[in-house]
Amino acid sequence: MRRLRNAKIVATLGPASCHEDVIKTLFEKGADVFRLNFSHGTHEDHQKNFETLRRLEQHFNRPITILMDLQGPKLRVGTFAEGKVVLKPNQVFTFDLNAEPGTQDRVCLPHTEIFKAIEAGTDLLLDDGKLRLKVIRYSHDSIETIVTTGGELSNRKGVNVPAVLLPLSALTDKDRHDLDFGLALGVDWVALSFVQKPADILEAQNLIQGRAKVIAKLEKPMAIQYLDEIVRLSDAVMVARGDLGVEMLPEEVPSIQKRIIHSCRQAGKPVVVATQMLDSMVHTPSPTRAEASDVATAIYDGVDAVMLSAETASGAYPVEAVAMMDRIIIQTERDPVYRQMVDHSRPQPQPTVADSITASARQIAHIISVPVIVTFSDTGSTTLRAARERPESPILALTPNLQTARFLGLVWGVHAVLVPPINSFAEMVENACHLAFKENFAKKGEQILITAGVPFGKAGGTNILRIAKID
């Protein structure tokens, strides 16, 4: 099951992909990470998919990465007596805490946090930004606005408050319940929605207690003010362009995406680009040229993974979407310009033994055309530093820790294999040579490059670089 590419594919499971034969085909066609979206579906649905994936893991004898995506604090208006109203430009419209059905002039907004945070001049965006209203006056239980962009507003539509730090936890009561459930199952990654500030990451990590890795989903412009700190605290970052695009101008999203990717590349943290990448494939068997270019742009930027959402969860062509994304990535990575761009954007090694070892490994692999770099790591830290270098050679990650093998499925260029604990340097070299050959990364007579840390099992202790020949 070796992939012929470095960037990974995240596929979301849903009604279109909940059968075992479809999930199996998605994995065979190129899905590396499977996303369980807790904004939709029941716990029973997610448990069924989880169990299917773990059976497939046994069938293929390959670690399969499972990501649970928490819903986060969704802000919504209440309901209307007639089900919907039409707001006209320059109309005055009021939000309040009255639970009675709304009218043409008012509706309930059951989120006291908004009342505490807004001020005169604040914009409120409704229904994914289709409607825009400006606050003209407010109190502790009423917000009076004027409609600047009108349209139809129906029951339970979403509310966005751009450029305002809301006094909200990124974890709702539902999220905490879902998190307990997902961790009990044994998910590998937890995606935290609507992150606004570094404290949101710390709160989640305090609950998770190392049982899974944390992905910060950046979909609030306020989070960009704390970007480097959020990247530092998180295990990975997702550029969630859907909600991010609602709260900022469309022309601002591409530069923000590149800024997030750059920050993650500098820190050596995995970064995922998500939302509407092949959106037309929800309904058609092929993407637009613009969508193919969008995926390729993320690959040229050196991202770790690209994600499919509705394309595989509810679309008519889930398998075709994964196969298409696989083809786009492979074609892009074969382009000589791709290697030039990845090399140009490579971060400088930090002044540590681990970075000097991994940077040297990349250079040596290039000079003597090593077919594979083998990393030994219990925690995955050695492998993450190797991936930060974006070497020309693929990375074969050998680890005795199943949890580590699974979470590395999200990381650029990494093919993880579970191995017994290593007890000696000689055993390490022997295993590296054997598995490089067995997993079809190298042939007899070829040289491979090995990085590891001694003593074995110590996090962040990369201090060995060895060239070995496969006999």
What positions carry a catalytic annotation? 35, 76, 217, 275
Give Cβ neighbours of residue 254 (< 8 Å, ≥ 6 apart).
none
Please say whether the beta carbons of 412 and 387 come within 8 A: yes
* Inter-residue long-range contacts of 344-350, CB under 8 Å, 24+ positions, other chains counted: 345/262, 345/265, 345/301, 345/302, 346/265, 346/389, 346/390, 347/265, 347/266, 347/268, 347/388, 349/389
Would you call 454 helix, strand, or coil by DSSP?
coil
Alpha-carbon distance of 220 to 244, in angstroms, equals 6
Alpha-carbon distance of 48 to 418, in angstroms, equals 25
Beta bridge partners of 170: none
Burial of 65 (0-12, 13-18, 19+ CB in 10 A): buried
> Hey, which bits of 354-394 come out as E strands?
373-376
Show the DSSP H helices in 91-213 as ranges.
112-117, 173-185, 198-208
Please say whether the beta carbons of 213 and 407 come within 8 A: yes
Alpha-carbon distance of 189 to 33, in angstroms, equals 10
Alpha-carbon distance of 34 to 68, in angstroms, equals 9
> Hey, which bits of 38-130 come out as E strands?
65-69, 84-87, 92-96, 106-108, 123-126
Q: At what angle do helices 318-334 and 20-29 cross, to 10 degrees?
A: 10
Neighbours of 443 (CB within 10 A): 10
Alpha-carbon distance of 283 to 321, in angstroms, equals 11
* The token pair that represents 452 in the structure block: 């590891």
Burial of 105 (0-12, 13-18, 19+ CB in 10 A): exposed
Neighbours of 82 (CB within 10 A): 12
> Hey, which bits of 179-277 come out as E strands?
189-192, 213-218, 236-240, 271-274
